[in-house]
Structure 1
Amino acid sequence: MALISLSLQAQNTQWASEVIEFSSQYMSTKYSANQVLGQPNSFPKGGDSKLSWSPKEEDGKLEFIKVKFDNPMPVQQVVVYENHYPGAVSAVYLYDENDKEYLAQEFKVKSTQRATRILEVNFPMTSYNVAAVKVEMVCKKVEGFNQIDAIAISNSTEKVEVKIEVAEGVVFDGELEKLGPGVNTDYAEQSPIISPDGLTMFFIRRNHPGNMGGVDDENEIWVSQLQNDGTWGIGYNIGPPLNNTSNNFVASVTPDGNSLLLGNAYNSDGTMSAGVSISKRNGTRWAYPKTQSIDQYVNNYNSVSFFMSNSGKYLIMAIEGNDSYGTMDLYVSLRTGEGKWSKPINFGKQINTAVDEFKPFLASDEKTLYFSSYGHPGYGSADIFITKRLDDTWTNWTKPKNLGSVINSDDWDAGYTIAAKGDYAYFNSAREGSSDIYRIKLPQALQPDPVVLISGRVFDHKTKLPIEATVYYEFLSDGSDAGIAHSNAETGEYKIVLPYGYTYGFRGYAKGYISVNQHLDLVEVSEYKEIETDLFLVPIEVGQVVRLNNIFFETGKATLKKESFPELNRVVELMEENPTMKLEIAGHTDNVGSETSNQQLSQSRAEAVVSYLVNNGVSGANRLIGTGYGERMPIADNDTDLGRQLNRRVEFKILNK
C-alpha cells in the first residue's frame, strides 16, 4: 500500500530540527522545548497542547527558545505557530553558520484576544545562510501559559501552508454510515470489534439500562450479528461471566471466534483488577476468563487498551510504561507460552508522542497497524492513523498517516476495526455528540495486504465425530511458529488467517491422537480468499494409518526437502512419547513410469524417512520398518493430476503401541 506525505506547499520551507537552548520548560516530556520541533501538531484547531513548548511559569519572566535547522539557507520569512494565549512574542533573531546574531523583528507585546496565531515575520532575503532562530517572549504581559507549537523558515514570503499528512488515495466510493438501532441507541456505544469473518461484532454500551448494573454500570459487552441484508441485528448483552458490575470490554477476538481477549483481570473471587484476560468458548458458553501473565508489566496510567494479533503470537497494548515518551504509548509483548507474554517493547518515537496513542488494531496481515492518537497532527480531538511494520523489531514503522476527514472529525474518533477481508472499516465517533458506531467501505489505499481465511472442522478420523483441538500452524521453510487457534468443543469448527508470502503447514492437536497435517503454498501474493479445509486426528491405535502430507522430495528422487523436517520431527516426538510404538513407513507412487522404477523409488523414499527418524533420535531395534509399495495401492484415479498427486504419498501404520 503506497502512502504519500501531503506536506508543505511553500517553496523550500524547513521546520526546526534541534533545540539549541531555552530558558525553561513546563515538563521534560509534555510541554517540553523539544515539542517545538517539526511541523505543528495542534493546528489548525490550536489551543492548549502537550505537544507544544510551554515555559515553566505562567506570566513569568522573559522566556526564549533557540532552534536549529538541518540545511542553512538564505531566508526571507520566519513563521512562529502560537497555539495558546498568543501575543507574547517580543523579538525574533536569526543566526548564521558562525552563530552571529541578527535581529529579524521586534514586536509590541499584547494579547491578541484570539485562541491561536500564526506569526509571519517577513523581511528582505538574507545575504547569509540562516542556521538557527531564537524567539523571545515576555510572558507576564499576556495572561495564561504562552505556548509555541512550531517554528519554520522559508526562502519565500508566500504563505506557509500546513496540510495534514493523509494516506494516498483516500477517496471513498460510499458514504459514511451510522449503524442502525440494532447497534446504536440513545446511550453511548464504543469499541467495536469485528470477528475476522466479518459476521460478529462485539462492542460496549455505557450506562445502558440493559447492563447488569443498570445505568450505573459504565461499560458492558454487547454482541450483534450481521444479517443477510447487510444490516446488523439487535444487539444483546453477552452476560456473565464476561459482564459484571465492573468495567468490561472485548479487546480482540480470534479468527475462530472461540477466544476473546478481555480488558482487566477476572479474579477467582469475582472481583476485577488491572490486567488482561482470555475467555474460551465452551460450546455456546464463555468460560470464566483466565488472567494473562505479562513479564515486567507496568501501567502508570488510569486507562489501557489491548489487542491480540490473529496469530495469537503478539499482544499489543496502550499503557504508560516507565520508558514511555508521554502518557499512553503503544507496546508489544510476544507470546512465550500458554497465557504468558514477554516484557513489553515500546514501538518507538515514530509512533509514540508525548500524549496518548491508544486503541491499536493490527490487521490480519500482521503488518498494517491502525491506532488513535492525540499527538499526531489531525482534525481536532483524537484521530485514527495508519502505519506499517517494516521488520520484526517492532520499533521500525512507516510514518503514521491520517485516515482523512471522512473517517476523522473534529471530535473523538477511535476504535478502528476491520474484518480479514479488509473491505469495511468500523469505528466509533462522537461527531454527533454521544458516541456511536459507524462503518464505511474502504478504498484500496487503506486496505491491508490480502490474506487467506482458512476454515473447517476438526474430526476424529475413525469415528468422524468433531473434536475439541488446538490448531497449530507453522512456516514450513523452518518449522517456526506461525500461530495458534482452537476448535469449538461441540462442533469442531476452527478458523485461521494466513498472510501471503509463505508456505504453511497446519494441523489439529488433541491428547491421544496423531495429527494429519495439511499444507498450503501462499508464496505468490493474490487477492483475499476463503478456503475450507477439514482437519483429521487419528487415534493412537494398532492398525491406524496416518498420511504424512508435509513430506516433500526432490522430483524423481528420494532426497528429502527441508520443508519435510517439521513433520518428521513430530514423528520423532511421537515415538519418544510412546517408547514401545512400532511403525511401518510406507512409500507409494502414481503409475507414471515403469512399475519397476516406481517400486524402487517408493522403497528408497520409505528408507529415507526411516533414516531421518533414526538419525534424529528414534532408538530401539526394529521399531521402524520401511516398505515401498510402488504403484500397487492407489487411493485415487491415476487418470487425473489430482488423483496422481494423492497417490504419491508417504504414510505410516501403527504396528504396536
Structure 2
Amino acid sequence: MKVLKISAISTLLLSLYFTPLYGQEIIKNNLSDSINTSYVETKPMISADGNTLFFARQNTPENINGRYDEQDIYYSKYGKRGWSKSVNIGEPLNNEMPNGVVSISPNGESLYLLNAYVDNKKTDGVAVSHRTDSGWSVPQILPIQDFHNHSDFIDYFFSSNGQELLIAVERDDSFGDQDLYVSRKLKDNSWSKPINLGQQINTKHPEFSPFLAADNKTLFFASMGHENYGGADIFYSKRLDSTWTNWSKPENLGPDVNTESFEAYYTIPANGTIGYYVSDKNGRDDSRDIFSITIPYQFRPDPVILLTGEFLLANNEDDSIDYHVNFLTTSASESEIFVEYESNSFNAILPTGGSYFFYVNKSGHISESHYIDLEKQTTYKEETADIHTVPIRKDEKFTSHNIQFEYKTDEFVSSTYFELVRLLEIFQQNEGLQIEIVGHAHDYEDSVANMELSLSRIMKIKDFYVEQGFNPQRLLLRPEGSNAENADNYKKHVNSAFNINNRIDFLIKRTDWKELQVVAAANESASDSLINQSTLLSKKKTFKIHFDFDSYAINEDQELLIEIAKLIKDEEIDKVDLIGYTCSIGDETYNKYLAEQRAKAVKQWMKEHGLHAEHVEIIAEGEANPIADNDKIEKRALNRRVELTLSFHHKSALKAASN
C-alpha cells in the first residue's frame, strides 16, 4: 500500500515552468522515483560531466545498519531513459556512522567523504577514497591544521582544482553559528588552518552547504541569516580576488528555487546549466527530496573547458613511467591548473578568458604540445587533446603543430615562442642531440612555392636557435614543401586555427653528437688527410658532395666537407663555385629548383662554419650533365650532387707548394 501511495504521488508531481528575465524558460523537477523516496534524500553531489549523482538517504531499511543507520551514500546514473534506480554504494564508504559525498574529483575517480572513518566512531573530519579495479578504496582522513568545531553540524567542499577546501563550521572566530571558511592545500598534502570568508558571506546565523563552481569563483551556499523567504535559502556570490575574503554581495536565487521551507545543498555540473538541490517543499510524504532546475543566466558561473586526453606511446615503449602535464597560461588565474591522471589519460578544467600551452614532461622523452586559445570563449565546451610522446633516441621523430607562421610568410605567430623555448630547453639538456628539422608548408597551390616557403621557415627556426647560442652543426634542415600531408589520424588537436598540414617534424639523427673541428691538428701528416698538399699545386680543385633522394640536407657524416674546410681561409681562396645537380627522376623545373637548394645548402654550411671566400657563385644545372646512368638505381645516386670548385690565389698555391 505504501508503494502504491508513493507511485500515485509521483505521477501527480508536476514540472514547474517559469519565465524570468531575458525570456529564459526555467524548468523545475522533483527527481524521479529512482532517486526520491518517502525517506529523506539529502546532500546531492553531481559529477563534472553531469552523468552521475551521489546523494545520501536517511534511516531507510536499505542502509548498512538498517533504519537505525542515520545516513548512507547512494548513487544513480543518467542515461537515455533518465536516472537509473539508485544503488547503495556499500562498504567501505558506508558504515554505521552518517555517510555522505561532499565533493567529486573532475574525472570522477576520487570521492571526498563526510567524517573521518576512524574506528567506526562519529568523528568530525573529511576523508578521500579512490576508485580501484576492485571498487572504492578504504577512505583516508585528510589532516586539517587547527581543526575544531563547536557546532553539531559540518559541511565540506573541495574546489575543482584540488587546492582549496571550503568548510562550514563553528569556530572560535565565527560570527555566530556555522560560518564558511577556506583551507588551502599544503606541500605535505595536509590542509592549512581555516580562514573565515568574512562578513560579506557570514552572518550570526548558520551558513552551510558550500559549493564552488568549476570556474573556482562562483559560490553557492545556504543561509538562514541573509534575507530569505523563510527557513534556509540558497544564495549566490562571486569571489573578487585571491584573498578568499572579498566577495560580491550574496544574491538570493529567488522564488524559482527558494520557498518558505528549507532549501540547501546546491550542486551543478561543469557545464553550469542544471542545478540540483534539496527542498522539503512538495517532497514525497512530506520528506526532503532532490530537485533539479534550469539555472538562470544571471546565476551561472563563468564557462570552463573540460579537457581530456590520452598519452600515446611510441612503439615498444614502457608505459609504466609517470606522466606530468605542464600548463603555461596567459590568463590572470592565481592558481595552477589541476590535472588528474589515470593509467594512460588525463583531464583538467580550464577557465576561459586566457590561452593555454601544454605538453608532457617525461624523463628521457619528448612530447608534442598543444595550444588552445580561450580568450573569446563564452560557453562551456568539452575538448580532447591526445599527446604523443617519443623517447629521445636515434631515428625517433616527433611532430610540432605549434610552430606556426603567418600565412604565406616565414614570420612566427606569437604563440610559437612557447614551443620554440620548450624545445630549446630539451635540446640544451641533451648535449649529444643532433636534430634534423623537416618543414611542411601547404600555403600555396604551387609545389615549388611551398618548397621555398618550407625552406625559409625552417631556416628561420634554425636562426632562432643559433641566436640563443645553439651550435648550428647540431641542426640539419630538410624542406618538404607540400609533398606529404599530415598523417596523424591517431591523435586530436585542439588548436584548429591553423592548417594541420603546416607542421614541423623533428628527427633525431644522433644522440652522441660531438662538435667537429675544422682546423687540422699541428702534427697531422698530409697522408692522414682525405686531401693532401698536392691539391694546392693547381689553381682549381673540384669536389663532389652527394645528397639523398629528393633532399638537400647536408649529411652529418660527410667528412669530405670537414677536410675541405681545413683548406678554406679568406686569404687563400679567391672564388668558390657551387653547381647543383639531380638525377632524372621528377619534373625538370622542380629538379632545377632542387639543384639550386642543394648548392645553397653547401653555401649555408660554409657560412655557419665561418668559411668565407671573396666570391661564391651558385649554379643550378638540375638533371643536366649526369656522370652516371640514371636508369640504374645503384648508379643514379651519383648524380645527386653539388660540385664544389675552389679557385686558389696564385701566390697561396705557390706558397703551399714550396712548403
Partner-residue secondary structure (3-state), 1:630: strand
Is residue 275 from structure 1 mapped to residue 125 from structure 2 by the alignment?
A: yes
TM-fit CA distance, 1:510 = 6.2
Alignment check: 8 A CA contact 1:454 1:498 kept: yes
- Cα distance in 2 for partners of 1:295, 1:565 equals 39
Q: 2:49 aligns with which of 197, 216, 223?
A: 197
TM-fit CA distance, 1:379 = 1.2
Q: 1:214 aligns with which of 39, 58, 66?
A: 66
Q: 1:227 aligns with which of 71, 79, 97?
A: 79
Question: Match of 2:502, as an amino acid?
Answer: N
Is residue 398 from structure 1 mapped to residue 248 from structure 2 by the alignment?
A: yes
Alignment check: 8 A CA contact 1:372 1:384 kept: yes
Alignment check: 8 A CA contact 1:459 1:465 kept: no
Q: Structure 1 pair 347/552, CA: closer, same or farther in 2 (3 Å)?
A: farther
Q: 2:433 aligns with which of 559, 582, 590?
A: 582
Q: 2:299 aligns with which of 419, 428, 446?
A: 446
Map of 2:338 onto structure 1: 484
For structure 1, which segment, 289-298 or 429-438, has the greater mean C-alpha deviation from structure 2 after superposition? Answer: 289-298
| Residue deviations 1:409-464 (CA, integer Å, cap 9, x gap) | 22221110111222211001122432211112223233223333233433324369
Is residue 409 from structure 1 mapped to residue 265 from structure 2 by the alignment?
A: no
Q: 2:313 aligns with which of 446, 455, 460?
A: 460
Q: Give the structure with higher Rg (CA).
A: 2
Alignment check: 8 A CA contact 2:393 2:508 kept: no
Q: 1:264 aligns with which of 96, 115, 139?
A: 115
Question: Match of 1:262, as an amino acid?
Answer: L
Alignment check: 8 A CA contact 2:97 2:120 kept: no
Question: Match of 2:271, as an amino acid?
Answer: K
Is residue 535 from structure 1 mapped to residue 387 from structure 2 by the alignment?
A: yes
Is residue 502 from structure 1 mapped to residue 354 from structure 2 by the alignment?
A: yes
User: % of aligned pairs identical?
Assistant: 33
Partner-residue secondary structure (3-state), 1:242: coil
For structure 1, which segment, 305-314 or 412-421, has the greater mean C-alpha deviation from structure 2 after superposition? Answer: 305-314
Map of 1:599 onto structure 2: 455
Is residue 420 from structure 1 mapped to residue 270 from structure 2 by the alignment?
A: yes
Map of 1:656 onto structure 2: 511
Residues paired across the two proteins, number: 476
- Cα distance in 2 for partners of 1:631, 1:570 equals 21
Greater RCO, CA 8 A, separation 6+:
1
Partner-residue secondary structure (3-state), 1:599: helix
Alignment check: 8 A CA contact 1:201 1:224 kept: yes
Is residue 608 from structure 1 mapped to residue 447 from structure 2 by the alignment?
A: no
TM-fit CA distance, 1:368 = 1.7
Alignment check: 8 A CA contact 1:586 1:626 kept: yes
Q: Structure 1 pair 553/316, CA: closer, same or farther in 2 (3 Å)?
A: farther
- Cα distance in 2 for partners of 1:610, 1:191 equals 60
- Cα distance in 2 for partners of 1:232, 1:265 equals 30
- Cα distance in 2 for partners of 1:610, 1:242 equals 59
- Cα distance in 1 for partners of 2:95, 2:467 equals 58
Structure 1 vs Structure 2 CA RMSD: 3.8
Map of 2:374 onto structure 1: 522
Q: Structure 1 pair 594/532, CA: closer, same or farther in 2 (3 Å)?
A: closer
Q: Structure 1 pair 198/557, CA: closer, same or farther in 2 (3 Å)?
A: same
Q: 1:308 aligns with which of 158, 165, 180?
A: 158
Normalised TM-score (structure 2)? 0.63
| Residue deviations 1:175-194 (CA, integer Å, cap 9, x gap) | 53111121112221111111
TM-fit CA distance, 1:383 = 0.6
Partner-residue secondary structure (3-state), 1:274: coil
Question: Match of 1:282, as an amino acid?
Answer: T
Question: Match of 1:608, as an amino acid?
Answer: F
Q: Structure 1 pair 391/203, CA: closer, same or farther in 2 (3 Å)?
A: same
Is residue 434 from structure 1 mapped to residue 269 from structure 2 by the alignment?
A: no
Map of 1:348 onto structure 2: 198
- Cα distance in 2 for partners of 1:207, 1:570 equals 60
TM-fit CA distance, 1:235 = 1.0
- Cα distance in 1 for partners of 2:265, 2:432 equals 53
Q: Structure 1 pair 474/332, CA: closer, same or farther in 2 (3 Å)?
A: farther
TM-fit CA distance, 1:391 = 2.3
TM-fit CA distance, 1:218 = 1.8
Question: Match of 1:484, as an amino acid?
Answer: F
TM-fit CA distance, 1:385 = 0.5
Q: 1:329 aligns with which of 179, 189, 192?
A: 179
Normalised TM-score (structure 1)? 0.63
Q: Structure 1 pair 459/328, CA: closer, same or farther in 2 (3 Å)?
A: farther
- Cα distance in 1 for partners of 2:332, 2:256 equals 44
Greater share of strand residues, 1 or 2? 1
Q: 1:251 aligns with which of 80, 83, 102?
A: 102
TM-fit CA distance, 1:377 = 1.1
- Cα distance in 1 for partners of 2:427, 2:69 equals 51
For structure 1, which segment, 303-312 or 558-567, has the greater mean C-alpha deviation from structure 2 after superposition? Answer: 558-567
- Cα distance in 2 for partners of 1:470, 1:288 equals 26
Return 5+ residue gaps in structure 1 as ranges.
1-166, 616-620
| Residue deviations 1:112-131 (CA, integer Å, cap 9, x gap) | xxxxxxxxxxxxxxxxxxxx
TM-fit CA distance, 1:198 = 0.8
Alignment check: 8 A CA contact 1:503 1:523 kept: yes
Alignment check: 8 A CA contact 1:590 1:645 kept: no
- Cα distance in 2 for partners of 1:168, 1:633 equals 56
Map of 2:479 onto structure 1: 630
